[in-house]
Structure formats: structure tokens, C-alpha cells
Structure 1
Amino acid sequence: MSQEGDYGRWTISSSDESEEEKPTLDKPSTSLHAGQEAACEPRYTCSDARKAAHRRKMSPLKFSNTDGVSEVSPPKKQKSGSQEELGWCLSSSDDELPPEPQLTARDTAEKVDVKEEKGTSPPQDSAAPGAGSHGPPARHRLTGEEEEYETSGEGQDIWDMLDKGNPFRFYLTRVSGIKPKYNSGALHIKDILSPLFGTLVSSAQFNYCFDVDWLVRQYPQEFRKMMLLQYEEGLRVVIHTSNLIREDWHQKTQGMWVSPLYPRMAHGTHGSGESTTHFKADLISYLMAYNAPPLKEWVDILQAHDLSETNVYLIGSTPGRFQGDQKDNWGHFRLRKILREHAPSIPKAEAWPVIGQFSSIGSLGADESKWLCAEFRETLVTLGRESRVPGKSTAPLHLIYPSVENVRTSLEGYPAGGSLPYSIQTAEKQNWLHAYFHKWSAETSGRSNAMPHIKTYMRPSPDFSQIAWFLVTSANLSKAAWGALEKGGAQLMIRSYELGVLFLPSALGLDSFRVKHKFFSSSQEPAASFPVPYDLPPELYGSKDRPWIWNIPYVKAPDTHGNMWVPS
């Protein structure tokens, strides 16, 4: 949703959209029958790219060697053609402004009541209180469109995994259709909401896109009249990259951070319950930035709990124009401040590359000097108080974004591209950017075919064996999400709400993180090895690779379901 404010025009969240204006193009010639463009749309508000993916799932276009296309039911999986046959061509796109996300905030057990709070729409994160218990979660049998799954992987105890087996508390979501060993230690939303974690009382869900009916079904049956749940035993915060819709929890690579169980502070306690990372105060500041009355209760709940065990830093964005000290509170300047104050100083740091991995891209300017390799890279290369003064960094920059071939050969096929809303209108203005692109590859985690909706940024060593820092966030590669300088650098302009957590070695008593090369491996790698969710080093696009563009057709080669992609 686009709004006007004291600081100009802004959008609620760029998590699934760029902030671009999108001109309507001439429609391509196809043999689609009249009325087929009015295919069923999702029951929930979402981006135009996701609407197109939903239409193609409902009415797939079977691949044909002839010029015509026809709408059919999905055929069986078959081998597909080569990337060489694919190309870019324009298609119609009657794009609308991004939908207004929802904030669900109720504490009643009598009925579900979802209200839309104007001007307070949240980003892609979830503040989900929880509590602990022991024993493996039960197996669930789902009906209808949802598949059967087990909440624990290979007999692993979820609770032990949460509190003992992962010092970083960083997890991937479960993926349907891959080998069970690659889901070992992964979590489904039902795991997060499991009654084995505690007695649910209320919760708050922050997100860009909600399918309320689906979300209600993810809660344990005894609590399904409840939308906002709190646990009697304590408080837990979960920050993740998934929308609250089935598609994002089915066959996509998502990431999440799950907090420790935060106990309620005893009455009369004089301590603040704050961590060395200032997480409690930063999370409260983020909630207060919404200026939403329903969140006042959650501020009070946070104040009443002890968050001192937290070992990550909160990196948030909120819409506005910020000057002076306020510039350091949000966006990439917030990241820069934390990296300067707490990241390790490394000799010859300019040789350490920067990796950005994301699922959507905004307008970054006519060339790299406008933002990407200027202020944004200067933030990403900051390491310690002795970091060089801002200027032109020479640190290599690797950007990971799925290619057309990545999407075509994915578990979902072309419809997976609905969650990768990079538009032709934006791409044509910044062809220079594509020289930085690297393929999505996650063979070591068994998830190369599960398209990423996760967003991560990190600073690895030149040999990719160590990491100076790692960030998982809702923020895609856009100025709207991260902020851009105005008024000669005196002012930072941000257009959207975003939230992420930064992992720094110093917060865990380390000098650097070793890279865990196999995410789900149980080998003898050190416990403090960080589980990077994709392969290192990243592989540069080949001469025939193209970045996925959602609003153009791909009709010269079939996807894994034997279908083509015509978005409208």
C-alpha cells in the first residue's frame, strides 16, 4: 500500500515488491481462451507476482513445441530442456500498488477477529511467544491440500535441538518433497506453535501476507479459536522470512531465528532483563515505531520478561527520514553502527568479500555508484572501529539471486517465481547489476530445488572458510528496505518496515565463525561452525544465464511439471 507522510511517499513493505512504478505493456499474442485471465486469485492479499503464480498453478499451460499454448491440468514430472532455449520477452502486467499487509492482534479465545490497522502494517517477521517442554512432538495427519509431515526429523528431539543442539538458534523451514535427512533439524510452523512448547495464551503475528484460514489451521486444534497466543511459561520471539501462507512453508527455502525461552521477571526484580546486545530495548523501540495501540500490550509483556540470554543484535527498518543520531537507529546505518562497534577487526579485510542473497530487487539507480557500491557496500564492509573511512571499497561483491534455470528446474517449477518479484521494468533500467549475480545453489543442504525466499547477508573470508558476521532478515536488495542517503548524506530515507537478526562472533565469545559446509551434517565439525544455507563459494552466472523476471513469459522450455510460464 502506498501512503503519503511527512517524509514523502512510502510503501508498507518491500519484502515482496519493489517500489517501482510499473507501466502497462502491450499484451503478447497467445491462444488463451476468453475468460481464462479471470482465473481464481488467492483468498489473501499479495503481490501481482504471487497472483500470477497462483493463476498458473490453478490453470497450468502445458509445454508444446507448437506456437500455441493450452490450459491443462499439471502433467507428470518430466525432464526439461536447456537454458539456451530461454529468453526474455515482454508480457502484459496490469500491476497494482502493493497490497496493505495485516496486523493480527487479538487476545480472545472466543472468536477469530482479524483487524486491519491503518498505517501499522508489519514486515516479514513474527513475534511469537512460546514455552518449553520435553519429548518428541507427535505426528500430524493433515487433510485437503496440505501434505502429511512429521514435526521431528529422524527421531530428533525438537526441544533438545532448540535449546542444546544449535548455539546460533538459526533454522531452515521444512521442505516437502526432499530426502528426510535434509529436513533434520528444520522446523515447520506447526513445530513453532506446538503445545509441547507450552500452554498457549496469546500471540502476535507480524507479516506482509496472511492467509488467515491457513494460519488458523497451523495452530494446535485446542487453540484454533485463538489468533493471538501467549504462553503461560514464558515468552519466545521468532523472526523468520516466511509469509503466513501455505506456499511459503511448503517447498521454499526460508530461514528463522528462534529465541531462548524468556522467563517472566520476578516481582520486585531490580534488573532490566536486558542482554549485552541491547535486544530488549531495540525490539521495544521497533514495536513502538508502529504507533499501533494493540502493540502496547506486547511492549508491557516484553518489559516483564528477562531477555538477557539473547546473543544476537536486532537490525530493523521503519519508514521515515532520519537525521543526526537517529540515522544509526534503522536500516543499513544501524547495521553499520553495530559492525563498527562489535565486529572483529581483521587484517587485510579488503580481501574479504561481501555476499548478499535475496528474493526481490528494487531500483538501485543508473549505475553501481548510485547506491549499491557506494553507501550500501560501505556499510557491508565495515569491520570494527578501525574500519577505513567511507570511500570506494574494493571488497568483492557477490549477489545471489535465482536464475531462470533455477526456477524452471525447481520443485514448484515456474510458479516458484511468484515469490521472486523482480520486474522487467526494473531489470531493464539496471542491466549493469546482473554482472554481480550468482546462481542459487544449495546442494549441501539438499535444497537447490527449493527456491529461496530467505534473505541473508554476510562477510566471508577469501577462502570461504570463516565468517566475520551473518545476517538473516526480511530486507531484500532495495533502497526502500535498507534506506538511502539524502541531502548530501545528512539524512537517511527508509520506506518500509523490515526486521532481522545479526550474528556476531563476539556475542558468542568467539573471534570468528567457522563455516559449516553441510547444513544438516552430523559430522565432527566444531559446534560453533555457522550453518550457511547455500553453497560456498557462490557460482557466477554463465553467459547464457538470466535472472528470473516474473512478468515476462517463458514458453521455449518446460518446467519440472511440463508447463510454461505466461504470467497474464
Structure 2
Amino acid sequence: MDSFLKRKNTDQADAEAKKPKREECPHKERCYRKNPHHFKEFEHPFLIQLIEKGDTPEIPDNMPQPKQLYLEQIEILKPILAAQKPKETEKKRVETVKNNMESVASSSSSCGKVSKKGKTTIFTSTSEEATCSPGSMLEKLKKNAPYNLFFTTIPKSQSTFKEVNSVSFTDLLCPSLGPLKCSLQINFMIDIDWLLKQYKARDLHQKPLTILYGDDWPDMIEFMNRFCPNIKHHFVKMKDPFGCHHSKVGIYVYEDESIRLVVSTANLYYEDWNNYNQGLWLSPRLPKLPQGSNAKDGESITGFKSDLIAYLETYKLSILKEWLDYVKNADFSQVRVALVYSAPGKYYPKKNGNHLHRVGDLLSKYCSLPAKTTPQSEGPLSWGILAQASSIGSMGKTPADWLRGSLLRSLASHKQSSPSSNSAATLNIVYPSVDNVAHGYFGLQSGGCLPYSKATNEKQRWLQDYMHQWKADEKHRTRAMPHIKSYCRISPNLNKLAYFLLTSANLSKSAWGNPIQKDGGSSIRSYEMGVMFLPNFFDEEYFKINNSTDNKNSHLFPFMYDLPLTPYKKDDYPWCN
């Protein structure tokens, strides 16, 4: 390895010295990005000209983007330009190359085998029983079974890299999971430049990729048509101006046509995967069904497969036909979570497509709570409901309008009680305060993932009585703001969960559904996707979390924020944009 690195270092150093000028950003003056990695990759001559004019450059009035955007881009670009000036000797530069090579070799060895030529040998088998080296994604998946619930790594908090269930996006492309054939990304915001870099890091950037996205960034289609011949894409335009294509789903197909599914809370751009706390569920390997099987074969005990097919069919897009075929031909029998999704339209109970109905139906059928047999026993109402989100919508003048009359009606359902519009269950909301954001890693800019309107908050100040601060000291995640959305029901002693829902759905009618009408129907505006963890499907009575007193010999369910909760102080105010 040393002789190889020495020879490789010399070659790479020579190549670095001869490296041509970076390509100019194809968006030019229309560039909308604020990702430092983008400015390191592409030249921006017009910004450099502005920087050369002095500390307070005057932005011309005829520029295609807002002036404030250019000023923010300039502040991002300045330290990058300064760092590019030659400050090291050639010896130090070669040493840096050597260190980088050793890092790459180490990273590759964790997800494959490094050959004598320094290349990664991809595993030829996608079996979960395949031998994998320590640190690979397959090993992480095995260690986190059966829940397969992961959180994102936070570079500003190096402790998160030591957590067995912390991952980066490139971990999802780890060769230990299988040789990738093609993939589908369904999301809201996609920085295609950043996304392709993640695939390129695994040498997968030329593999067929299909994307559905809901945020039409400037020149995104032009960029893909110009630079991405392997990408099929479709912008999901919402008919309702208050609706949002907010689902975050990945489907990965391997060479043997087995698949894996990822349901996440993260958009596909740098900040979401590095600056904010996110959650994701990764399915086990779903093998291809034997020839002659039909779409109803290989169903999960939760009905996950048929629900996923129904979700994909709501788009009515020809671009998804091959993906529907992959799903129909896959064996989902090992999946233990239930699929919860929202799609625009009006829905009634016992039908997926609306979070309010689907969650209420699942809990009414599968959620068990202790019966109150004596005055001292717990009883269902002693189990509180926790709702944690990154944004909040308009809920009305009183809690009864929607929060308790519709949302709590769903979240408080259980086997011993049918959905009730006047549930007395306790509800607590976890949402960052201004003080939480101010102490974040990026100061007030840490609140970029929390788009709660101040005007909306002023109309529902009553909501602050339910609010609790964002605090995750135990997981070293307090200073990274939460973009994750989770809902659960917890025991009085805070050590057991009756259920856990990970979803893209924030606390809003658009995501969960409008107030349930007299006919039982509820309309919804947005696309959302989540997975429901129910102990019944994991052969458990309840999920034990990190506060359990008997956790030494039990498999704990991953939980991100601290318990007990920290209520808002009198002078606290929720972070609003």
C-alpha cells in the first residue's frame, strides 16, 4: 500500500499542477445556489467581478436573481477564493494528497475490498448474508435490525459519526448493499449537482436515475438536459397552490433486480444531509419473486407492498411504469413497518392516502395500551402523545378546530377505543424556540429548515402552551436543528413506546388532511410519505427506548431527542421565518 500511495501521490500531484481551469457554472448570473461545494466545483466570473469592486459591491438592478442572494453568494465565495491561493509548499501539498488517498482507501475498505490497484471490488451478491467488512452499510443494517431506523451524521458534531445508526447519503449507495443497476428518487427539493456528486463518490454517476421533484429550481431542467443523459425527470406540478410534493422516497434496484426502499425526511441537497437532523428507514433486501408470480405475491404482513403500488399509481405517470414493475415483482414479506402516505384528493376511513385516516385506522387496529383496572394503574390516558416537526401550519382559533378535533383524534386512537373527536389524551409538541436556533451551529441561519410563518403563529398563540424546546444532548444533536418529523405515544415513566411514526408530514392540514367532515371524509393537498412502527409487527408488547431501566439485555428502539421534555419558558418564542 505504501509503494502504491507513493507512486499515486506523485502522479496526482503532477496532475493537480496541470489541472485546467474549472468549468463555468452553466447557470451564470441566474445561479441560485448557496452550497459551498457548488462554488468550489464551478467558476462564477460575475461574482468574482463584484468581489473585486470592494467590500460593499453594488448589485446592478437588472440582475435575474434578488440582490440579497448575490450578497449571500459573495460571502460564501470569499473564503473559498482565499483558500485557493497557494499557501503551502509542494511537499505539504503532496502530503495532503497522500492523506486523502489513505482516507479514500480506508473508506473503500469499509464498504468493499481494496485490491492491489487501489480499486474497490464490488460485492457480487446482494444477499443480507453476504460477508461485509466492519463499517459497511450492510453491517450497520444488520446491527440496527429489526427496526432499520437511521439518523443523519452531523459533521459539526463528530460524536454522531460514532453512533451505529448514523449514516450519510453515500452510505445508501454502499457496494456492500449490492451492485446498483438503477435508482428512483422521489423528493421535494433536489440539488441535482450535489446528488450526482454523491453517486460519483461511489462511481455510480452514470447509472440510470429517475427523479420526481416538487421544487422547480431555476434552470434545473436545462442543467439535466445538458449534463445528465442518464437521468429521466419529471416535475410534479401541484394543482392546489397550498399543496406540496413533499414525499421523500428512494428505490434502489440491484443487478439481480432485488430492490431496497428508503423512506426519509431529507431533501436531496447538501444542507439537509449535513446541517440538520433527519431520519430514514431502510428496508431489508427485497428479492425478485420467482417467475410466474403475480403482483399480490410477496406481500408484507402490514400490506406495505400494495400500499406502495397504490401510492405510485396516484401519479399516473408513464415514467414510473418500470418502477411499478420492479415493486410488483419484489418480495416484501420481510417488511415489518406499515406505509402511511398522503396524496391529493378526498379520502374516507379504511383507505390509505390521507395521514389522518391511515394513522387512525392503524392504531385502532394494532395499538395496545394498558387497561385501567384500578385507580392506581396506568390506563390509556396516562400515555402521552409526542408530536415533533420542522414546520407548523394554520390550525384555527382554538385547539378544537383541528389540533385536537382531527390530529389528536387520529394520534390518540388505540384498540380499546375508536377515534374520538374530543380525546382527553395529553399532547406535547417539540419545536425549536428562537433560543434553540440562536445557539445552533450556524447561529440564526440554523433555522433555515424551520419555515413556520410568524403571521400564522400570531393567530394561534394558544399553541405555545403545547410547545417544548428542541433538546437532544444525549445524542449530541441539540445544536443541529431538526428537519425530522416524528410522532409517538409514550408511557408515563418515559421508557416505552406504543407506536412510532417517521414521516415527511409536518403539523399541517395540507400534510395530514383537513378537518374530518360529517361524512367521515377528509381532503388533502400534499404528497407525503412515512412509515409506522407498531410493536405488534415486531413480536413485541412495546418498544423500549433509552430511558428503560432494563435496557442492558434488550434491543432499544432509536430515539433522537431528550426526555423528559423541556417546556418553553415564559419568554420563549417559537422560531418563525
Structure with the greater alpha carbon radius of gyration: 2
Unaligned ranges ≥5, structure 2: 1-55, 81-107, 115-132, 210-251, 372-378
In structure 1, give the amino acid aligned to 2:273.
Answer: W
Structure 2 CA distance for aligned equivalents of residues 37 and 166 of structure 1: 56
Equivalent of residue 136 in structure 1, options 110, 121, 128: 110
How far 1:178 sits from its partner (Å)?
A: 1.2
Per the alignment, residue 387 of structure 2 pairs with 356
Match of 1:432 in 2: 462
Alignment of 1:228-243 (within 5 A): 228=209, 230-233=253-256, 234-243=258-267
Partner of 1:472, secondary structure, is strand
Cross-structure match for 1:218: 198
Q: 1:191 to 1:325 in 2, by over 3 A?
A: closer
For residues 327-361 of structure 1, the C-alpha deviation after alignment (integer angstroms, 9 at most, x for no partner) is: x5422111000111111142210111110000011
Distance, in Å, in 1 between the alignment partners of 2:392 and 2:70 is 23
Alignment partner of 2:489 out of 438, 456, 459: 459
SS of the aligned residue for 1:171 comes to: strand
Aligned to 1:222, what secondary structure does the other structure show? coil
TM-aligned CA distance change 1:489 to 1:139, over 3 Å: farther
1:416 pairs with 2:446: yes
Matched ranges for 1:69-468 at <5 A: 136-137=110-111, 156-180=135-159, 182-185=161-164, 186-220=166-200, 221-228=202-209, 230-233=253-256, 234-269=258-293, 272-323=297-348, 326=351, 329-347=353-371, 348-384=379-415, 386-388=416-418, 390-468=420-498
Name the aligned partner's letter for residue 259 of structure 2. L
Q: How many residue pairs are counted as aligned between the two chains? A: 424
User: Residues of 1 paired with 2:454 and 2:61: CA distance?
Assistant: 20
| Secondary structure of residue in 2 paired with 1:529 | coil
Measure, in 1, the Cα distance between the counterparts of 2:458 and 2:366.
39
Does the 8 Å contact 1:202/1:231 carry over to 2? Answer: yes
Per mean C-alpha deviation after superposition, the further-off stretch among 209-218 and 160-169 is 160-169
Partner of 1:534: 561
* Amino acid of the structure 1 residue aligned with 2:327: L
CA shift digits 1:466-525 (9 cap, x unpaired)? 10000100000000000023543532110000000000000000111111249xxxx963
> Do the aligned partners of residues 507 and 40 (structure 1) sit closer, same or farther apart at CA in structure 2, a change above 3 Å counting?
farther
Q: Shift of the alpha carbon at 1:367?
A: 1.1
Of stretches 196-205 and 434-443 in structure 1, the one that deviates more from structure 2 is 196-205
For 1:507 and 1:206, how far apart are their aligned partners in 2? 27
Residue aligning to 2:507: 477
User: What CA deviation, in whole Å up to 9, does each residue of 1:228-287 have, x standing for no partner?
Assistant: 163113100001111000010112100000000011111134770001111100111111
1:503 equivalent among 511, 520, 533: 533
Seen in structure 2, the aligned counterparts of structure 1 residues 398 and 526 have a Cα distance that, compared at 3 Å, is: farther
Which letter does structure 1 place at the counterpart of 2:344?
A: P
**Residues 293/180 of structure 1: CA separation in 2 closer, same or farther (3 Å cut):** same
Residues 397, 459 of structure 2: 8 Å contact kept = yes
The residue type paired with residue 193 of structure 2 is D
- CA gap of 1:408–1:375, structure 2 versus 1, over 3 A, is same
3-state SS, counterpart of residue 536 of structure 1: coil
What CA distance in whole angstroms lies between the structure 2 residues aligned with 1:165 and 1:421? Answer: 32
* Displacement after TM superposition at 1:430 (Å): 0.9
What code does the residue aligned with 1:247 have?
A: E
Please identify, of 270-279 and 233-242, the stretch whose mean Cα deviation from structure 2 is larger: 270-279
**Aligned residue type for 1:230:** V
Kindly state the Cα deviation for residue 437 of structure 1 after the two structures are TM-superposed: 0.8
Determine helix, strand or coil for the equivalent of 2:197: helix
For the residues of structure 2 that align with 1:241 and 1:181, how far apart are their CA atoms?
18
Amino acid corresponding to residue 383 of structure 1 in structure 2: H
- Consecutive unaligned residues of structure 1, counting only runs of 5 or more, are 1-31, 42-47, 62-70, 75-133, 141-153, 551-568
AA of the residue aligned to 1:548:
W
From the superposition, tell whether residues 462 and 279 of structure 1 become closer, same or farther in structure 2 (CA, over 3 Å): same
Stretch moving more, 394-403 or 162-171:
162-171
The residue type equivalent to 1:137 in the other structure is: C
Q: Relative to 1, partners in 2 of residues 1:362 and 1:181: Cα closer, same or farther, differing over 3 Å?
A: closer
What amino acid does structure 1 have at the position aligned with 2:558?
P
Q: How does the TM-score come out when normalised to structure 2? A: 0.68
Q: Deviations over 1:415-440 (max 9, x none)?
A: 22111001112111111111111000
Query: Alpha-carbon deviations, 1:510-568, whole Å to 9, x = none?
Result: 111111249xxxx9634432111111121110112111011xxxxxxxxxxxxxxxxxx
Give per-residue Cα distances to partners, 1:303-350, cap 9 Å, x unaligned. 111110000000100011224654x54221110001111111422101
Aligned to 1:530, the other structure's residue is in SS state: coil
For residues 342-393 of structure 1, the C-alpha deviation after alignment (integer angstroms, 9 at most, x for no partner) is 1114221011111000001111111111000112101111111x21551422
Contact 1:440 1:448 in 2 (8 A): yes
Tell me the alpha carbon deviations over residues 70-97 of structure 1, each in whole angstroms, 9 at most, x when there is no partner.
x9979xxxxxxxxxxxxxxxxxxxxxxx
Normalised by the length of structure 1, the TM-score is 0.69
- Preserved CA contact (<8 Å) 2:436 2:470: yes
Q: What amino acid is aligned across from residue 219 of structure 1 in structure 2?
A: Y
More moved, 303-312 vs 223-232: 223-232
User: For residue 382 of structure 1, what is the amino acid of its counterpart?
Assistant: S
* 1: CA distance, partners of 2:276 / 2:158: 14
CA gap 1:264/1:378 in 2 versus in 1, 3 angstroms: same
Structure 1 distance, partners of 2:433, 2:138, is 37
| Amino acid paired to 1:305 | A
The residue number in structure 2 matching 1:97 is none
| Structure 1 contact 345–387 (Cα < 8 Å) conserved | no
State the match for 1:514 in structure 2: 544
Q: Distance in 2 between matches of 1:225 and 1:342?
A: 44
Contact 1:200 1:230 in 2 (8 A): yes
Matched AA of 1:454:
I
Question: Which whole-Å CA distance do the structure 1 matches of 2:112 and 2:499 have between them?
Answer: 36
Secondary structure at the aligned position of 1:531 is classed as coil
Aligned-partner Cα distance in 1 for 2:301–2:474: 34
The alpha-carbon distance between structure 1 residues 324 and 192, as it changes in their structure 2 partners (threshold 3 A), is closer
Distance 2:314 2:163 in 1: 37
Counterpart CA distance in 2 for 1:484 and 1:408 is 33
CA offsets 1:30-68 (integer angstroms, 9 cap, x no match): xx9864999997xxxxxx9xx98x77854669xxxxxxx
Q: Which structure has more RCO (C-alpha within 8 Å, separation ≥ 6)?
A: 1
2:469–2:566 CA contact under 8 A, matched in 1: yes
CA-based RMSD of the aligned residues comes to: 3.1
Instruction: Sort the Cα spacing of 1:182 and 1:57 in 2 relative to 1 into closer, same or farther, 3 A.
Output: farther
Residue 310 of structure 1: SS of its match in structure 2? coil
